[in-house]
Structure formats: C-alpha cells, structure tokens
Structure 1
Amino acid sequence: MPRPPESPVSTDMTVAAEIAFFSQALAGFAKSKAKLKVVCSVGRRHVMPSPSSASPLPSPLVAPARQRSQIHHLVILDSSFNPPTLAHMRMATEALLFLRNRPATHNFPSTSPSSSPATPLDFTSTRLLLLLSVNNAEKAPKPAAFEERLALMLAMARDTHTALASVDGGYPDIPIDIGLTSEPFFHDKSNAIAAEPFYASAGPSAASGTSTTPHQHFLLGFDTLVRIFDPKYYKTAGGKAIPEGLPSTATPMQILLTPLMRRARLRVTTRPNSDWGDEENQLEWVESHAGALGGPTESWSDKVFLCTSSTGTGAPPVSSTLAREASQAHDTVRLQALVGPAVLSWLLQRLPYKSSAK
C-alpha cells in the first residue's frame, strides 16, 4: 500500500487531551481488574469531514457504544506500538483489503489448498482492534509510557482511515477499536476477547447455530508466530481442563492453544532472514513444525496464512526501533519514511523518546 495521504495534524491542545483521556482510561482499567477493555473507537467521521457539514470533526475520546448487530469478523493487531509504524499500518490495511478483494466465509485462506467455499463477506460486521497489553511477556513498558502509546495508536487509526478511504474502488468505514488487555499471552488474549461483552451479539442465533462472538483474525510477524509455538511458554496447563476432542495425553501447549487455534486464524507476515530462512523455509516450518504441535486431532497449520508485505524485497527496513532512533535524533526526514503522517505529527509534538537518548 502507498504512503497514506495527510491526516489531521496534532496540536498541543489535542495531545494534552489525549494524554489525559488515556491516563484516566489506564487508571480505570487497572482498578477494574478486567482482562480486556475497549477504550475508544475511531470511525472515518473522526478523521474526514462530511462534505455536507461545516461542523468540526467529532472527538473519538469517549467510551465507545457497543455495536447493535453481531460482529462476525474481528481483525486484531496486538503490538507494543512503541511507536506504531508504517509496517504496523500495512499489516492492518493489507489484511482488510485482502478481505475486501477475496470473498470468504469466516477465514483468511490457510496454507492448505483445501479452503472453505467463498461467499460474500459482510463488511458491516467487521472491526479492527489495535490491542496493547499492559503486561507484555517480552517487553518492559519503556521508553514511551502506556498513555503515550495509546495516543499513538489513535494517530495510527487516523492514518489507517485516511489510507483506506483513498484506495482504488473505495473501502467501507470500518470501526477501529483501541483496546487494553492485562493478558501477556496470545491464547489468554483470545479467551478475553471471546468473553468480552463489547464484541458479543445481543443474543445467540439459535436458528443458525453460529457463535455470538466474532471470528478472530490475528495479524502477526513471523517472529511472533515462532514465539506462540515455543513450548517454553507452556510448561504447565495452569489447571485448565482438556478441551473436548483432545486425548488425555494432550500436552500443556495443546490444552492452552487449542481454544485459540479453533476460534482464530493467524495472518502472518513473513520475515526472511538468517534465523528463519526465506519464505519457502517459513512455509515449510508452519506445515511441519506447527502442524505436528497440534497433535493428531488438530490441524494448526491450516489456521496459519503466510503473506508477503507489499513493500517487497529490497525495500528499506521499517521498525519501531528505527522510528525511535529517528525520533531521538530529531531526524524528521527519516521519520517520515517510517511512520504515518498523524503519528509523525504526534511524535513531533510530544517527543516521547527524547529522554531515552543517552
């Protein structure tokens, strides 16, 4: 996807309001002991003025209203967003564009050639969730504070809406949720999302027998996929019951990951490098290693879809580490190549990484 058009520019006043809103949301979340909370939702109306209205853009800094109709598809980008980059945004936009361009029942296609039969996808039942864990299993909460990262996620949501509105053929206005979770591991995050009333329909559809919670589509880098399937995170099952259909000899990993793998699809952006090889090596790893980990009753490799970023081979690298370094060096030109316009504007206003440059 090309670089997004310009998004609304942050001002000192809007930055201060966002920090205050997210600081309060974080305090309330910690006090609630909840496992997941949707803090706010961003629609296109928060980014682009209506041609028929001269009113200022409404603020997304309010508690979101629960969607009345059932949500069938929830695309989830879980990250530390420290800061969110163009790579994060491309993962989200490419996934949503893929769904628009390829009719599907509930899933991204798997690595298996036997995919579900195609039927039109209802975009009115799709949402994107940008999810920040306040208990990350791998990364400490530094250098940017959580309230700053949430504000940067809001800026990324604005950039994403601007980019989607400019694509050929148009794209529907899909709500982008900004959420918090206290769960550090993906299987627990998935469980929390499945149990969250915000994403449950008003009532079960007994006639069709469909679930009242959305089908989950997690967006990952290949390095994250490797961590999800690393046995060191599943030394015990933590007292969890063996899921129905698994043998009594199921491993702790199978007990904990099976609910996630049964309800979700993993869309994984390949990361060709010396550690994991090229894309062919990574596909082979998924089909052999991940497939075997699920055991004889599960087909985990069928739930993983490997995709190549549209940046292609030979493109300059984009990462949060590089964005932090550019921000610390006040290298605006370099930073422009790493983050979206609204994220850039916010970084220039707040300078969240200046204190870490030592």
Structure 2
Amino acid sequence: MTGTLNQNSKQLLKHIEASLSAFQSSNRPFRILSSSRTTETAAAPLPKTLFILDSSYNPPSKAHFALAYAALAGPSAQREPKPHRLLLLFSTQNADKAAKPASFSQRLAMMGRLMEDLASEIGKVRKDENVDIDIGVTTSPYYVGKSQAIEACDPPAYPSKPNHVHIIGYDTVTRLLASRYYPDHHPPLSALEPYFCAGHKLLVALRPLSSSENMQDAGSQGIDEQTEYIRKLGEDALEAEGFKREWAAQISVLEGEDLGSAIGISSTAIRNAVSEEDWTAVGKLCTPGVTTWLKEERPYENSSQDVEQKSKMS
C-alpha cells in the first residue's frame, strides 16, 4: 500500500481491500500495509522505540491524532531512545468492537488519511529527524499477543527489535490490569509477564471527567485519582494478582499540550454528525484528511437511524 495514499478514495479503497484480503488469507499474525515519511531526508536509521497506537479507528479522530502527536512531539518522546517510529495498529479480531458500521477496509483507508495528517504535523516539529509512520494489521485481539505477533513476523517487520510503547487511555489500562480478563492464568496478571519482561512499556493518557461515552471503567475518577492508581502499581497494589512491582516503572503518563480536550472526543458523535451531514462538527472532531474521506465516502449514513431504532427497541 506504500505510495498509494495520493489515489482518489475509490482507488485507495479498492487497493486496501486487496491488501487486506491478501493479509487475511496469509495466516500471518501481523503485516505492515503502508508507511509514510515525516521528512524527505534519506532513510532513517532502524528504530529503537516503536510507539504503537492501537484502536478500532471507527473513525479515526483528533483524539487519535492528539495521542500520537503527544507521544512523538511531547515530553514523553524525550524519555525513549531514538530513532522513533509510529505504528497505527488495527486488529481484525478486536476483542471488544464489532466490524460495523464501517468496514475494516474503510477504517484502514481513513487510517491512511490520518497517517498523512500526522506525518505533515510531526514533520514540522521534528524537522531534522525522520519519523516513519506505519499502518499495520494483526489478527491478535490482546496487547501481549499483538507485540508477540509483531516480533514473530517473518521476515522481520522491525529487524532492529525496538522496544514497544503502547499508547493507551486510562480506561484501557484499568481493563488491561483487571484480573477478570485472565481466567486461565494463576495468578491472573502473570499473563502480562511476556510483555513486561520483554521490556515493553505503556504510555497512559489520563482521562478528564465526562470525556467519553465509555466511562464505565474510569468511572468518576479525577486526574489526581487516576495518577494515584498508576503510582500505587509500584507499591504492590496488585501483587497478589500477579502484577510485579518492577513492572510499574514501565508504565508512565502521557503528557502533551491540549491533550485532555482532544481525548474527550466521542466516536459516536462523529458517526452521527456524518449521518446528519454536519460537516462543521465533523471538521472539529476529525483531521482534515479524515474529514474529506468521510464527506466523500459517507460510511456512517445510517448511524443516526440505527441509534434511533435501538432506542425504540429498548
């Protein structure tokens, strides 16, 4: 898919459908579908740090942009060994998200537009160093498995074997560290040992109050309470459940300007705005490339009707 992002939407979607079909029939757990450069310099050295933004991208939004931008252009970037690389990762067997209302191919196409927007903006602040950006797909639904799939890729996707830094939200880290998700491991959080013992890290974006449609895990916790939760991981808070105290050093808080307001974007609000053709609202919630794609392809035309129908049935 490299070099195809300048195609019109129909051509791009057709190309992505073919690439995705080839991946799904290959029985491989991971594949890079596309890459972009942030500068026109010669090829960057092989990465030492691979930032990974894993999402359902339904659709990609300014929240995704803010997370990736903060990781690569904010204070967090200074703590990780360079060269850096960014992977926008999509799971075709996501554990929590259904394959609708937008198809996998449509989401990957929108990820391509997000990648272009990110490359342009990151290139402005990291002018003297290239940061490659990849779009990748995996069949694994879980974080430990995703990193293992990337590492096991043959031929190697990243021959330099960079450390993985997953960029996640606070509600996601509470699920990741919830014992109920690991019934086959004793103690349950020992399931995370392959990830942390490999040296991989988590970069956590704290969630402002009332910032999401999906607040059941974060609840009503404020920033101070969320920070305290992460701090206590280094004080044996979850030791009885199999979390090792030393792993806490591999979990840090993502920092960046205006990060809090962007994280509150609702994907449902975007889908409804597209359905209602409210392009002003869409433009406030999505990057320019994604907004243009949504206007051309309209993948959520029936979103409002679906919501209304579900409401009537409940």
Class of the TM-score when normalised by the shorter of the 2 chains = 0.7 to 0.9
In the other structure, the counterpart of 2:194 is 259
Sequence identity, in percent?
30
Mapping 1:55-70, distance limit 5 Å: 70=46
In the other structure, the counterpart of 1:76 is 52
Deviation at 1:193, TM superposition (A): 1.6
Deviation at 1:316, TM superposition (A): 9.3
- For residue 187 of structure 1, the aligned residue among 135, 141, 144 is 144
| Aligned 8 A contact 2:63 2:264 in 1 | no
In the other structure, the counterpart of 1:20 is 14
Aligned-CA RMSD value: 2.6
2:136 matches 1:136: no
Describe the shift of the 1:151–1:218 C-alpha distance in structure 2 as closer, same or farther (beyond 3 A). Answer: same
Partner SS for 1:253: helix
Mapping 1:97-246, distance limit 5 Å: 97-98=73-74, 102=78, 104=79, 107=80, 121-123=81-83, 126-167=84-125, 170=127, 172-196=129-153, 197-201=155-159, 212-237=160-185
For residues 326-345 of structure 1, the C-alpha deviation after alignment (integer angstroms, 9 at most, x for no partner) is 11111111111111111111
| Separation in 1, partners of 2:237, 2:142 | 21
Describe the shift of the 1:143–1:296 C-alpha distance in structure 2 as closer, same or farther (beyond 3 A). Answer: closer
In the other structure, the counterpart of 2:214 is none
Partner SS for 1:261: helix
TM-score (norm 1): 0.73
| Separation in 2, partners of 1:172, 1:314 | 28
In the other structure, the counterpart of 1:292 is 237
For residues 174-204 of structure 1, the C-alpha deviation after alignment (integer angstroms, 9 at most, x for no partner) is 1111110100111111111222243342xxx
- For residue 227 of structure 2, the aligned residue among 283, 287, 291 is 283
Number of residue pairs matched by the alignment? 286
Q: Counterpart of 2:82 in structure 1: which amino acid?
A: D
Q: Counterpart of 1:321 in structure 2: which amino acid?
A: T
Deviation at 1:40, TM superposition (A): 1.4
Higher helix share: 2
Deviation at 1:130, TM superposition (A): 0.3
TM-score (norm 2): 0.82
In the other structure, the counterpart of 2:282 is 335
Structure 1 residue ranges (4+ consecutive) displaced by more than 6 angstroms after TM superposition: none
Mapping 1:3-42, distance limit 5 Å: 14-42=8-36
Give the gaps of 5 or more residues in structure 2: 211-218, 306-314
For residues 203-260 of structure 1, the C-alpha deviation after alignment (integer angstroms, 9 at most, x for no partner) is xxxxxxxxx51100110011111111111211004xxxxxxxxxxxx51421x20111
Partner SS for 1:198: coil
Describe the shift of the 1:192–1:316 C-alpha distance in structure 2 as closer, same or farther (beyond 3 A). Answer: closer
| Separation in 2, partners of 1:356, 1:20 | 23
| Separation in 2, partners of 1:312, 1:87 | 8
| Separation in 2, partners of 1:159, 1:77 | 15
For residues 251-303 of structure 1, the C-alpha deviation after alignment (integer angstroms, 9 at most, x for no partner) is 1421x201112321111110133715112111211232575335485422211
Describe the shift of the 1:340–1:312 C-alpha distance in structure 2 as closer, same or farther (beyond 3 A). Answer: closer
| Separation in 2, partners of 1:314, 1:122 | 28
Describe the shift of the 1:195–1:68 C-alpha distance in structure 2 as closer, same or farther (beyond 3 A). Answer: farther
| Aligned 8 A contact 1:199 1:214 in 2 | no
Give the gaps of 5 or more residues in structure 1: 1-9, 51-66, 108-120, 202-211, 238-249
In the other structure, the counterpart of 2:309 is none
Describe the shift of the 1:293–1:190 C-alpha distance in structure 2 as closer, same or farther (beyond 3 A). Answer: farther
Deviation at 1:20, TM superposition (A): 1.1
